[in-house]
A and B are shown apart, each in its own frame.
Chain A
Amino acid sequence: MSRASASCLHLAIALLAGLGCGSGIAGDGGDDGGDDGGSCEMAFSVSPERPTRGDEVQLTANVYHGAQSGFETYGWIVRFAGEPIEIPVADQQVIEFTAEQAGVYSVELQGSVGGATCIDDSRDLNVQEPGAQFEPFRLRAIPPADDPLLPPPQDIEVQLYGGAADYSVGEIGLVPGTPVTGTSRGQSGGPVAAYLRARRVDGSDEGAPLYVEAFAGDDGEYSMRLLSGEHELLVIPDDPALLPYRLPTIAAEALPEATQVTTGDPIAVTVETGPGTPVAGARVSLVVDGVPSSVAITDSTGASTLQVGHERPESSSVSVTVVPPEGAGLPLLELAAVPAVDLTGGAVAIRYASLASREVSPAVRLTGGGPAGGSRVTWIARALASAGTISIGGPVHQATGQVRVTAAVAANGTMAATLLPEAVYDAIVEPPAGVEDAVSVTVVDLRDAAPAQLELAAPAFLRGQLLAPGPEPVAIAGARVQASPRNLLVGAASAGASARTDEQGRFELAVAGGGDYEITADATSLRQGRVRLLVTAPAPGGDLDVALPALPPVLRATGVLGAQGGGPVAGAHLQLYCFECGPDGASIPVAETVTDSTGRFLLIAPNPGVAPPE
Chain B
Amino acid sequence: MAAVHRSIHLAAILLAPAGCFYTSSINERPRAEIEKVTLGPHYPDEEIVFTALKSSDTEDGGNIECTWSAHTCLDDRCMDVEMLQEPEIITCTTEYDVVIPTRDHRPIKVALRVQDLDGAEFFDSETIDVGNRPPDLVLPQPDYPGDADHSAVSIPIEVSIQVSDPDGDDPVAISWQLIKPRGAGADVELSPVDDSDLIRTFTPDTAGVWTVEVTADDSFEDGRVTQFATIPIMEDAPPCIAQTTPSIDPDQRVILQRDDPPRVFTVLRVKDELDPYPRASDADYLGDPEFSWQLASPDTGGDLVPVAGAASPDLTIDPAAYAPGDLIDLRVEVADRVERTIPCDQADPTCSSSGDTCYQRVTWGVEIR
Contact = CB atoms under 8 A, between A and B. Distances in A.
Q: Do A and B come from one complex?
A: yes
Given A195-B254, A287-B259, A601-B280, A433 B306 contact: yes
A604 to B, nearest CB: 9
Contacts of B288: 480, 525
Interface in A295-319: 295, 319
B369 A593 contact: no
A244 B252 CA distance: 16
Interface in B312-332: 312, 316, 318, 321-325
Interface residues of A, number: 61
B269 A482 contact: no
Interface string A485-497: 0000011111111
Most buried by A among B282, B300, B305: B300
B307 A197 contact: no
Contacts of B281: 602
Contacts of B297: 491
A113 B329 CA distance: 65
Interface string B216-259: 00000000000000000000000000110111010111110111
B301 A376 contact: yes
A406 B309 contact: no
Nearest to B270: A594
B278 A142 contact: no
A496 B268 contact: no
Contacts of A283: 324-325
14 contacts: A236-B255, A321-B324, A376-B301, A378-B299, A406-B299, A480-B288, A482-B312, A495-B308, A496-B307, A496-B308, A525-B286, A571-B269, A594-B276, A602-B282
B308 A145 contact: no
Interface stretch (A74-82, A157-165, A208-216): A208-216
Contacts of A527: 282
Given A491-B297, A596-B146, A295 B269 contact: no
Contacts of B245: 142
A594 B311 contact: no
A183 interface: no
Chain B interface helix/strand/loop/mixed: loop
Contacts of A215: 249, 251-252
A602 B278 CA distance: 11
B343 interface: no
Contact of B247 (A213, A217, A323): A213
B310 interface: yes
A133 B69 CA distance: 74
B147 interface: yes
A286 B261 CA distance: 18
Contacts of A321: 258, 323-324
Contacts of A480: 288, 311-312
B335 interface: no
Contact of B280 (A285, A498, A593): A593
Interface residues of B, number: 50
B73 interface: no
Contacts of A494: 305, 308
A53 interface: no
Contacts of B54: none
A522 interface: yes
A556 B146 CA distance: 21
Interface string A222-257: 000000000000001010100010000000000000
Contact of B246 (A211, A408, A593, A594): A211
Q: Which of B253, B321, B322 has the most CB of A within 10 A?
A: B321
B62 interface: no
Contacts of B243: 142, 144-145, 573
B295 interface: yes
Which of A197, A402, A406, A525 is packed against the most chain B CB atoms within 10 Å?
A525
B337 interface: no
Interface string B261-290: 100000011000000101111100011100
A407 B288 CA distance: 37
B299 A491 contact: yes
A482 B255 CA distance: 27
A201 to B, nearest CB: 16
B332 to A, nearest CB: 13
Interface of B: 146-147, 242-243, 245-247, 249, 251-255, 257-259, 261, 268-269, 276, 278-282, 286-288, 295, 297-301, 305-312, 316, 318, 321-325, 369
Contacts of A240: 325, 369
B305 A491 contact: no
Contacts of A402: 323
Given A238-B253, A292-B257, A408-B301, 13 more contacts: A142-B268, A197-B255, A240-B369, A376-B300, A402-B323, A406-B300, A491-B299, A491-B321, A494-B305, A496-B308, A509-B309, A571-B269, A573-B278
A520 interface: yes
Contacts of B307: 493, 496
A404 B297 CA distance: 12
A289 B252 CA distance: 26
Contact of A493 (B147, B261, B308, B369): B308
Interface string A538-568: 0000000000000000000000000000000
Q: Which of B258, B301, B321, B369 has the most CB of A within 10 A?
A: B369
Top 3 A-B residue pairs of the complex, sorted by shortest distance between their CB atoms: A496-B309, A215-B252, A497-B309
A407 B300 CA distance: 8
A483 interface: yes
A9 B284 CA distance: 44
A497 B369 CA distance: 30
A236 B254 CA distance: 10
Contacts of B276: 594
A484 B309 CA distance: 7
A142 B274 CA distance: 23
Nearest to A511: B309
A597 interface: yes
Given A195-B254, A498-B311, A493 B278 contact: no
A433 B146 CA distance: 41
Interface string A186-229: 00000000010100000000000101010101000000000000
Contacts of A332: 323
A493 B258 contact: no
Nearest to A326: B298
Interface string A577-593: 00000000000000011
A595 interface: yes
Contact of B324 (A209, A295, A594): A295
Nearest to A600: B280
Contacts of B318: 490-491
B252 A195 contact: yes
A511 to B, nearest CB: 8
Contacts of B369: 236, 240, 244, 285, 292, 295
B309 A592 contact: no
A406 B323 CA distance: 13
Contacts of B295: 493
A509 B323 CA distance: 31
A165 to B, nearest CB: 12
A287 B282 CA distance: 50
B253 A493 contact: no
A493 B311 contact: no
A594 B269 contact: yes
Contacts of B311: 480, 482, 498
B113 to A, nearest CB: 44
B280 A602 contact: yes
Contact of A573 (B255, B259, B269, B300): B269
Interface in A599-613: 601-602
B309 A323 contact: no
Nearest to A518: B316
